[in-house]
């Protein structure tokens, strides 16, 4: 799925950079344009991407310091410059746009939902959010910001792919040292998903295409799981490899862990065409139907010349996730502790009513 990636804020820029590098390193060519937008000049400088500085008049390149209403305001004030930079990078080949942000800070948190709304007005292709939830020991302001941002993002975007910053954190590891590893994991999952719809070799009816990704992403919260294992040279030896990687992708490889039901799923099995067992794929799909309590599981292959097989599982319309519920509870508590009025405010595009997200 040929995509334009737009990072907002520091996390947004770094994740877009990781994804662009993953795509280039593997020669997929799915990322057809990328841009980083921030109110902090120094964070933009370190990125090998095209950039747009917003809020120069207001914060003079120093960031908005976790104030997500100010994040919305600086995006709104400089929307014209951002949209024009995106337009310069958008080709007719683009099939989707992703606005990427850490939801707990200021610039990404407040700016991303506003930008998604503007892009929806201008473009006909789907506009998705890719949002990072703060870790559980980031402060109350981060939880509150992320709760409000997520509420608005899911309302404006065609779907919002979520990543939890605690997803792969081992005990005792600081969040900071883990960012690079997290960003790599996000890049692998999202990068493979985008590339899966592009496969050219080993063309067959079993190969995934972009429309299946788009149909699985139709609305709500989405997440991605991944697991890989060494494969036997031919399909017969790989039935268990496919079923066990699909199981691990969901049980321990999700960007939003502990997601136990979803409205839709897509299983992509990546590996050598002749090493992918039809029977294994069918078994894995029916396991996913039971596990996630849905009848709508799509499936397909992503032919890749590798000695391993990987299962990539996209879940769309997440219905239940303990991890997401835990986060929403933290955001709700933060709002009670001294959040803002609990009415939606169209001016700032901020919605404090954390309830009723799913
Ligand atoms: N996964 C991941 N998360 C990050 C990264 N950098 C920051 N975060 C998280 O993203 C959230 C927002 O932080 P930033 O992106 O730095 O905030 P910002 O959008 O630049 O906003 P301001 O600095 O307030 O203007 C926080 O929860 C951080 O923990 C990163 O490289 N990867
Ligand atoms: Mg910043």
Q: Do the strands 96-102 and 221-230 form a parallel or antiparallel pair, or are they unpaired? A: unpaired
Same domain, residue pair 39 and 172: yes
Position 207 scores a pLDDT of 83
Same domain, residue pair 146 and 32: yes
Residue span of the structural domain in which 237 resides: 223-321
Same domain, residue pair 117 and 263: no
Sign of the torsion formed by the C-alpha atoms of 213, 72, 178 and 147: negative
Low-confidence ranges of the chain (pLDDT < 70): 170-177, 199-205, 339-358
Position 178 scores a pLDDT of 84
- Ligand 1: atom nearest CA of 134 is 27
Counting ligand 1 atoms within 8 A of each CB, the residue from 11, 49, 224 with the most, and so the one to mutate, is 11
- Angle value at C-alpha 213, between 207 and 214, nearest 5 degrees: 135
Tens digit of each residue's pLDDT (9 = 90 or more) over 189-227: 999 999 997 765 555 668 888 999 999 999 999 999 999
Tell me how far apart the terminal alpha carbons of the chain are, to the nearest angstrom: 26
CATH of the domain at 274: 3.30.1330.20
Same domain, residue pair 32 and 125: yes
In a domain, 298, yes or no: yes
Same domain, residue pair 43 and 124: yes
CATH of the domain at 81: 3.40.50.1440
CB 120 within 8 A of CB 127: yes
Give the Cα separation of 76 and 216 in Å (integer). 31
Global pTM?
A: 0.94
Tell me how far the alpha carbon of residue 216 lies from the centroid of ligand 2, in angstroms: 32
Same domain, residue pair 108 and 156: yes
What does the chain come to in residues?
358
- Ligand 1: atom nearest CA of 65 is 24
Pocket of ligand 1 (CB under 6 A): 9-11, 14-15, 38-40, 63-66, 102, 104-109, 132, 134, 138, 142, 165, 175, 179, 182-183
- Ligand 1: atom nearest CA of 39 is 25
311 forms beta bridges with 227, 269
In a domain, 102, yes or no: yes
Same domain, residue pair 244 and 158: no
Cα dihedral value 288, 292, 296, 300, nearest 10: -30
As for how many domains the chain has, the answer is: 2
Position 342 scores a pLDDT of 45
CB 138 within 8 A of CB 175: yes
Same domain, residue pair 48 and 29: yes
- Closest residue by Cα to residue 356 from 341, 344, 340, 339: 344
Q: Give nearest CA residue, ligand 1 atom 12.
A: 105
Same domain, residue pair 115 and 192: yes
Q: Look-up: residue for tokens 């910053």? A: 165
Exposed e or buried b for every residue in 70-98, given b needs 16+ CB within 10 A?
bbbbbbbebbeebbebbeeebeeebbbbb
What ligand is nearest to the CA atom of residue 14?
1
Tens digit of each residue's pLDDT (9 = 90 or more) over 326-339: 999 999 999 988 75
In a domain, 181, yes or no: yes
Same domain, residue pair 71 and 152: yes
Q: Look-up: residue for tokens 């391993």? A: 308
- Ligand 1: atom nearest CA of 133 is 27
Tell me how far the alpha carbon of residue 10 lies from the centroid of ligand 2, in angstroms: 5
């Amino acid at each position: 799925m040929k995509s334009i990636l737009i990072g907002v804020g520091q996390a947004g820029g770094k994740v877009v950079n990781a994804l662009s590098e993953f795509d280039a390193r593997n020669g997929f060519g799915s990322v057809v344009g990328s841009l980083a937008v921030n109110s902090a000049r120094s964070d933009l400088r370190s990125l090998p991407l095209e950039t747009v500085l917003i809020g120069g008049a207001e914060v003079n390149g120093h960031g908005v310091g976790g104030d997500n209403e100010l994040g919305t305001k600086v995006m709104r004030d400089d929307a014209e410059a951002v949209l024009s930079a995106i337009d310069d990078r958008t080709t007719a080949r683009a099939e989707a746009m992703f606005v990427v942000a850490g939801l707990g800070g200021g610039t990404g948190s407040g700016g991303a939902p506003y930008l998604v709304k503007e892009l929806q007005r201008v473009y006909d292709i789907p506009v998705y959010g890719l949002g990072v939830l703060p870790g559980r020991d980031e402060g109350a302001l981060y939880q509150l910001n992320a709760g409000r941002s997520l509420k608005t993002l899911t309302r404006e975007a065609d779907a919002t792919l979520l990543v939890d910053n605690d997803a792969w954190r081992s005990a005792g590891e600081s969040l900071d040292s883990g960012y690079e590893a997290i960003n790599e994991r996000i890049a692998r999952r999202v990068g493979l998903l985008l590339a899966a719809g592009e496969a050219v070799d080993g063309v067959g009816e079993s190969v995934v295409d972009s429309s299946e990704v788009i149909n699985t992403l139709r609305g709500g919260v989405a997440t991605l799981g991944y697991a890989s294992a060494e494969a036997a040279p031919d399909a017969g030896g790989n039935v268990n490899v496919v079923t066990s990687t699909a199981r691990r992708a969901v049980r321990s490889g999700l960007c939003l862990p502990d997601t136990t039901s979803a409205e839709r799923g897509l299983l992509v099995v990546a590996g050598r065409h002749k090493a992918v067992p039809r029977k294994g794929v069918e078994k894995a799909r029916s396991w996913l139907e039971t596990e996630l309590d849905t009848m709508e599981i799509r499936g397909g292959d992503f032919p890749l010349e590798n000695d391993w097989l990987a299962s990539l599982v996209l879940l769309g319309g997440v219905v239940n996730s303990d991890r997401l519920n835990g986060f929403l509870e933290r955001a709700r508590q933060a709002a009670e502790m001294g959040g803002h009025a609990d009415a939606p405010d169209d001016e700032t595009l901020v919605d404090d009513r954390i309830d009723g997200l799913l």
